[in-house]
């Protein structure tokens, strides 16, 4: 802003200010009401949802699924989707640091003296995009399921097979419904429609690397192996 623009703003501001109302009681009334609403929300949340304490911290666990607090879900989801190891540090440190620096420097990046939202297209579009992106990542992060469960609804006769799939670590590389990882293996949610039952069984025994072979399971527990194949074959 040059000197002329600055003076014009200050002049206009002083006029608008003199046409206003006194801080006490008008603004204090609004602030006080909002404070009451805030307190009411906190109290209601505290009474209705409570403050549960999970199991005691146990570093020896191998079955726990760590998750951050909800307002960090967007960062958590970012870490899940950025897979190549060489760019991991960009997701962990790079993106948040760059965002913080951009936020701090905002008044120096956006020097347009215009304040009306209708006349600030770049600022508005950027803001809406960032908010939409963060909301999407937060929701995706919240839905990310643990790798030990499959929440997909299945007919009761296939539940046994679903359990075998859940405990065999398939979700480490495959997505089944909402659970599991989106790589390096293909999405299995509709695998039954793509491959016939025999092809599924063959792949389990003789897969392409890096997928492990389940021939050991077929030999040691053929019933479980068949349940697994039947479950996968009905995923249409």
Partner 1 sequence: MKLPTPPGLRRKPPRPGTTPTRNGAKVNGAANGDPKALKQAQKQAKRDTRKEQALEVPIATLSWLDERTGGGPFLRAFLFRKVPKGTNWYYTLGSATLFAFVNQAVTGVFLAMYYNPSTTQAYGSVHHIINDVFLGEFVRGMHKWGSTVMVVLVFLHMGRTFFFGAYKYPRELNWIIGVVLLILTMAMSFTGYLLPFDQRAFWATVVGVNINASGPIVGPYLADFLRGGAEFTSTTLSRFYAIHMLLIPGLIIALIGAHLFLVSKLGTTAPPWLKAEKARELAEEEI
Partner 2 sequence: MADSSKKKRSPYTKDRGTLGAFEGETVTRRRFITAGALTAGGVATAAVALPALGFALGPIFEKTVREGWQDVGPEADFNPVTYVPKVITLVADIGEAGKTTIYVRKAVAADRSPSDKGKTPLPYVAISTRCAHLGCPVRYVQAAQRFICPCHGGVYDRQGKVVGGPPVRPLDRFYTRVVNGRVQVGQRFSLNSKLERFHPRDPSNHLDGLWQYLYPRRPTT
Residue (25 or 172) nearer to partner 2, CB: 172
Peptide bond into 194 cis (omega under 30): no
**Partner in contact with 210, chosen from partner 2, partner 1, none, beta carbon below 5 to 8 Å by kind:** partner 2
DSSP helix/strand/coil, 216 = helix
Give least dist CB 22 to partner 2, A: 39
Binding site for partner 2 (CB under 8 A): 56-66, 76, 79-80, 82-86, 88-89, 92, 146-148, 167-173, 181-185, 210, 212, 214, 216-217
Residue (88 or 139) nearer to partner 1, CB: 88
Residue (68 or 196) nearer to partner 1, CB: 68
Q: Does 115 bind partner 1 (CB under 8 A)?
A: yes
Residue (154 or 168) nearer to partner 2, CB: 168
Radius of gyration of the chain (CA): 28
- Chain centre distance of CA 186: 21
**Residues paired with residue 176 on neighbouring β-strands, in sequence order:** 179
Give least dist CB 80 to partner 2, A: 5
**Partner in contact with 223, chosen from partner 1, partner 2, none, beta carbon below 5 to 8 Å by kind:** none
**Partner in contact with 178, chosen from partner 1, partner 2, none, beta carbon below 5 to 8 Å by kind:** none
- CB neighbourhood size of 174 (10 A): 22
**Partner in contact with 6, chosen from partner 2, partner 1, none, beta carbon below 5 to 8 Å by kind:** partner 1
**Partner in contact with 23, chosen from partner 1, partner 2, none, beta carbon below 5 to 8 Å by kind:** partner 1
Terminal-to-terminal C-alpha distance of the chain:
62
- CB neighbourhood size of 75 (10 A): 18
Contact with partner 1 (CB under 8 A): which of 81, 83, 98, 113? 113
Per CB under 8 A, contacts with partner 1 among 46-75 are 46-47, 49-51, 53-59, 61, 64, 66-71
* H/E element, 182: none
* Letter string b/e over residues 200-209, b meaning 16 or more CB atoms within 10 A of that residue's CB: bbebbeeeee
What's the rounded Cα separation, in Å, for the pair 229 and 227? 6
* Letter string b/e over residues 20-43, b meaning 16 or more CB atoms within 10 A of that residue's CB: eeeeeeeeeeeeeeeeeeeeeeee
Residue (113 or 169) nearer to partner 2, CB: 169
């Amino acid at each position: 802003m040059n000197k002329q623009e600055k003076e014009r703003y200050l002049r206009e501001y002083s006029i608008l200010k003199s046409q206003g109302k006194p801080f006490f009681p008008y603004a204090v009334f609004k602030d006080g009401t909002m404070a009451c609403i805030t307190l009411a929300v906190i109290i209601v949340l505290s009474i209705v949802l409570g403050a549960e304490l999970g199991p005691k911290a146990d570093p020896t666990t191998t079955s726990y699924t760590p998750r951050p607090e909800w307002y960090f879900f967007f960062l958590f989801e970012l870490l899940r989707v950025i897979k190549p190891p060489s760019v991991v540090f960009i997701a962990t440190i790079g993106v948040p640091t760059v965002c913080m620096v951009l936020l701090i420097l905002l008044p120096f990046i956006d020097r347009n003296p215009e304040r009306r939202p209708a006349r600030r297209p770049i600022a508005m579009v950027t803001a809406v995009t960032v908010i939409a992106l963060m909301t999407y990542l937060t929701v995706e992060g919240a839905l990310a399921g643990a790798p030990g469960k499959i929440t997909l609804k299945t007919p009761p006769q296939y539940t046994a097979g679903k359990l075998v799939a859940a405990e065999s670590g398939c979700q480490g590389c495959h997505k089944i419904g909402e659970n599991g990882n989106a790589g390096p293996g293909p999405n299995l949610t509709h695998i039954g429609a793509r491959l016939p039952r025999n092809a599924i069984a063959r792949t389990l025994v003789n897969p392409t690397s890096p997928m492990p072979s389940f021939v050991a399971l077929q030999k040691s527990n053929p019933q479980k192996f068949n349940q697994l194949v039947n479950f996968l074959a009905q995923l249409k």
